[in-house]
Chains A and B, each alone.
Chain A
Amino acid sequence: MSDNAQTPPGLRKPQAGGQVRGRRALTNAWRQRLEIIFFVAPALVLFAIFVVAPVLQAAHYSLFRWNGLGPMDNFVGLANYSRALQDTIFTGAVMHNLIIIVLSILIQLPLGLGIALLLNRDIWGRAIMRVIIFVPYVLAEVVAGVVWALLLQPNGAIDAMLGAIGLGGATQLWLGDPDIALLTVMVVLTWKYLGLAIILFLAGLQGVPAELSEAAQIDGASWWATQRRITIPLLGPTIRTWGFLSMVGALQLFDMVWILTKGGPANSTMTMATYLINQGTERSQYGYASAVAVLLFGISFVLAMLYQLLVLRRDIDSGAGPLPIKKVKR
């Protein structure tokens, strides 16, 4: 708890500088603190047990060579970390995560923004289009993964479809060819998460005042000029928040990859999370996997901080944007 924690409504703020004078003020201040502690403590206890403690435990495990059985007595210092950083499969996995972050932004941002701008206009069938686009996001990740794995298998439905429209020559080993498997996964991820981007952007567009566009139109601006000069800049905070969610999602990417490829073929779709599970539960190298987990935590933390500092800062400093979603506090 920091000192600038917001005072809950109905409670009196302690006097400036934390200096309390007089018995009555003291009692009030104490009462207020006790109340805060009383209400926050259960959540903090759970947070400590289920989040903080495991993270610290992982950091502890990462210093040992340990197969999960028996006492943990083989202290190896930072050897697990240096091993991970020298492992080409792990560094490859980090690269894959970064590629997915970049591709998400390059593909989903223009696509999602374009569709959101279109769907924000008064066009026929708008409601049904919104539902259809959001359906993949609602579907459970595992279900979507299993279905796509079936569709993409050799001689599967995708290949049959390509054949039916005369593109039989374009069939590929979608998930079996190390050169294209990551791109295939990326296509499935785009299908799955585009709906989220569009819904967020549409929500953001609700907060863009119609008067501004109207004024621009009266001044003779074209639809596109209005979008480019007014709507998209005002949508900035939404886009930047979506970018943050997208980045965090790409860093922790596990389920879809695990179901589609398990990180294969030839490690071409390995992500940090699939590598972590592979080394931990499948190879019983719990110490090493813990080091990987700590590295994953560290990389995510640094990237999240950089994003906050470089991208989200202006939103936080300039007060609330039109976005209804609460931004992450510094």
Chain B
Amino acid sequence: MKKRNALTAAALAASLVMLAGCGSGGSDADAGDGNTLTWWHNSNSEPGKGYYEEVAADFEADHPGVTIEVSALQHEDMLTKLDASFQTGDTPDVYMERGGGELVAHVEAGLVQDLSAPAADAISTLGGNVTGWQVDGKTYALPFSLGVAGFWYNTALFEKAGITETPTTMTELYTVIDKLKAADIVPISVGAGDKWPAAHYWYFLALRSCSQDVLTDAVSSKDFSDECFVEAGEQLKTLVDAEPFNPGYLATVAQAGPSSASGLLVTEQVAMELAGHWEPGVMQGLTEDHEGLGDKTGWFSFPAVEGGEGDPAAQLGGGDAWACSVTAPEICSEFVSYLVSDTVQKGFAENGMGLPTNPAATSSVADPAIADLLAVRDEAPYVQLYFDTLFGENVGGAMNDAIALMFAGKASAQDIVDQTQAAADNE
């Protein structure tokens, strides 16, 4: 018996050695010569794809000897691939960072370069827009698109319900909801099945209820004990109890298909939806003629909470930034600075690829809906990063779960704070 085991082990070991032999030898082949940059982006359709190819070619022309290997990936594919690459350490030189807790995790794991010194010029051009990509005062990525969320609504349905002005306070929002219901129109769609669209309500109510100082403190201290966070939950409870949402909202998804929250808005089954700057694009993708709601597209900022400490003009948003992985060659910082330069950002805006962060590109935005949003963003005293992004997947996820439970009537205002705090304490 013993002997047999020993023999088996020997055979196993031999096979393992053979297998291991096959595996080795391939590594370090792509370490690069210091002049090759790999760049992953998610503009995998025209005009963005072609534009970025031009940008890379222009940079190569200005920097002889530098080669840029561009990979245009589908967004979800890119995120999956990035996650895997962070775990194996084989990260592309230039990649997208969404900021907040994700960035903190990457910084703590030593995966991303500090751009504060090498990209100082670009950072000063972008101004306050880089805040979401700073950790302990150091800037790790340069945002190229930064959007804000708010209510997208159907102007025709508002007219039909006799609503002449968009609401600026929660009380006015309730009046709007009542008028829409009276006209037999479902007021709001929300994709609570995906959780984050529901969570955006709580984020906004916290933004309106809490002062900027409290929010800033909570980010660093991970302490949610301020009364305003419970207040946000109570405001949300009042809203959910007013029943403004589409039937079956607990199982509704955000953006996929005609029965999603965006689908209900674009097929005119509901009057409005709280969503980010991507909404017109999503709606266009959901319609045959790629028009979305067309002329009937309206937007208003999240209303003020009466008595809240937060600035009613503050906005909630998020964006994408270019980062250099820690193994990227030195030229990387120069390339990402070029990506947010006046020239590149103007082309970015002209091609309708997002909301540019470089002030020089503001006037180049062609789409009127995006231009309006840009004005709102730039007039805001501050743009708060989406809380789930800000606090990272773990705390943000717990927060979203608890908020979705409130939408299901299974969590109280205090529960949201408690669950979030518990997850934060578990970090």
A: which residues have CB within 8 A of B? 1, 3, 18, 33-34, 37-38, 41-42, 44-45, 48-49, 65, 67-70, 83, 150, 153-156, 173, 175-178, 181, 261-262, 264-267, 282-285
Contact = CB atoms under 8 A, between A and B. Distances in A.
A262 B106 CA distance: 28
A262 B193 CA distance: 8
Contact of B11 (A37, A49, A262, A264): A37
Nearest to A152: B251
B243 to A, nearest CB: 13
Given A18-B1, A38-B11, A70-B108, A45 B19 contact: yes
A282 to B, nearest CB: 6
A178 B250 contact: yes
A33 B4 contact: yes
B421 interface: no
A156 B344 CA distance: 46
A149 B84 CA distance: 30
Contacts of A65: 426
5 contacts: A69-B109, A154-B259, A181-B251, A265-B193, A282-B397
A33 to B, nearest CB: 6
Contact of A44 (B12, B105, B251, B408): B12
A33 B7 contact: yes
Contacts of A3: 1
Interface of B: 1, 4, 7-8, 11-12, 14-16, 19, 83, 86-87, 105-106, 108-111, 192-193, 195, 246-252, 259, 392-394, 397-398, 401, 404-405, 408, 410, 426
A37 B15 contact: no
Contact of A154 (B106, B248, B393): B248
User: What 10 A-B pairs come out closest when comparing CB atoms?
Assistant: A70-B109, A265-B250, A266-B408, A154-B248, A176-B248, A176-B251, A69-B109, A45-B15, A41-B11, A283-B397
Contact of B404 (A69, A156, A264): A264
Nearest to A173: B248
A34 B8 CA distance: 9
Given A38-B11, A69-B86, A69-B109, A264 B248 contact: no
A175 B249 CA distance: 10
A88 to B, nearest CB: 11
Given A264-B193, A265-B250, A285 B12 contact: no
A180 to B, nearest CB: 11
Given A37-B7, A37-B11, A70 B248 contact: no
A67 B12 CA distance: 33
Contact of A173 (B16, B83, B247, B397): B247
A270 B178 CA distance: 35
A48 B248 CA distance: 47
Given A18-B1, A181-B251, 15 more contacts: A41-B11, A44-B8, A67-B105, A154-B248, A154-B259, A173-B251, A176-B249, A178-B250, A261-B251, A264-B404, A266-B404, A266-B408, A266-B410, A284-B392, A284-B393
Contacts of A176: 247-252
A277 B11 CA distance: 36
Nearest to A34: B7
Nearest to A69: B109
B105 A284 contact: yes
Question: Chain B CB within 10 Å — which of A3, A42, A153, A266 has the most?
Answer: A266
Nearest to B18: A45
A164 B105 CA distance: 54
A69 B8 contact: no
A181 to B, nearest CB: 8
Contacts of A283: 393-394, 397-398
